[in-house]
Amino acid sequence: MQKYILSLIIILFSQFIIFQSSAQDKKVFPFGVIEEIDSKALNEKRTLNIYLPQGYNPDSAAVYPVIYVLDGSQYEDFPHIAGLAQFMNMYEILPKSIVVGISNLGKSRYRDFTYPSDDKQDLKAIPNNGGSEKFMAYIENEVIPLIEKNYKTDSHKTIIGQSLGGLLATEILFKKSHLFDDYVIVSPSLWWDNQKMVRKANDFLENLSKNIAETKVENTDYKKRIFVSLGEEHPVMHKVADKLVDSIKKLEETKNGTITLFYEPILDQNHATILHLAVYKAFEKFHKKDEEKK
């Protein structure tokens, strides 16, 4: 049943996009707004797609958490995740949220989502790699400030990334953990650069632990929730995901609730079909934790 619902959502959004492009003389169905950034970090113009929840009013005192989606163009994951958020808002499974799609359409996601690799096979397959540091600077210094300046946001932020996007989301967790509270990491391509990211996971997470200790002095509510999932994948994908999870578990055990890990492989899905169901489960888990606090 879940597979059927997810397939139906994909079909409906695809039909909407086709209709929108072919019916210029018709009224446009309002689904979101577009922001453009002349990015200094990337030295090019980039696009953000933004879904605003039902009842959003710039003159209201209400503020909303923000969900940031990598691969976030209208032809990538943005409409699907925004539609999922809208559905879960409607049934109060998820708090009403702003969804920001960070578009990579027409740009090089291979460049933006990877750190430099020394592996010969990586260099042959993706010669234009190694731009993640600039892309993280773009997110930190340009995307998030624009959203927080122009929209009614609270302080809670989520990042969602799949595949190479999952690699980048993991790198953000390791290197710039302060940027987001919740991390949804789906089928992460942690095989990149001979698995260096997970081979050094304990070192990265030790630094994260120090950051948490320092931040908690000023902010007693500092917490991280991490959801990791993957489907039926190449054995290497499972191997590196298990390494990531094992490292996070060690940190979780020492942090007394500051770090909460959810690891849910969904083995009846594959690399192409897992995203919707994984994100649904992540939102469900996160919100259940919120309900337990009340």
Residue 174: CATH number of its domain: 3.40.50.1820
Residue 3 maps to a domain: no
Distance of CA 279 to the CA centre of its chain: 9
- Report the predicted TM-score, pTM, of the whole model to 2 decimal places: 0.87
Residue 10 maps to a domain: no
Residue 243 maps to a domain: yes
pLDDT tens-digit series, residues 147-176: 999 999 999 999 999 999 999 999 999 999
**What are the E-state strand segments in 2-75?**
33-39, 44-51, 64-70
pLDDT tens-digit series, residues 225-248: 999 999 999 999 999 999 999 999
Please check whether residue 129 is in contact with residue 139, taking contact to mean a CB–CB distance below 8 angstroms: no
Residue type at 51?
Y
Residue 116 maps to a domain: yes
Residue 15 maps to a domain: no
Residue type at 219?
N
Average pLDDT, whole number, for the chain? 87
Q: What's the confidence (pLDDT) of residue 10? A: 47
Kindly give the interhelix angle for 192-199 and 164-175, rounded to the nearest 10 degrees: 30
Residue 162 maps to a domain: yes
Residue 120 maps to a domain: yes
- Distance, in Å, from the CA atom of 188 to the CA atom of 192, rounded to the nearest integer, reads 10
| Nearest one of 145, 169, 128 to 40, comparing CA atoms | 145
Domain count, the chain: 1
In what helix (H) or strand (E) does residue 274 lie, and over which residues does it extend?
A: helix 274-293
Characterize the bridge pairing of strands 44-51 and 33-39: antiparallel
Concatenate the DSSP letters of all residues of 65-99 into one string.
EEEEEES-STTTTHHHHHHHHHHHHHTTSS---EE
| Domain extent at residue 211 | 31-293
pLDDT tens-digit series, residues 47-72: 999 999 999 999 999 999 999 999 99
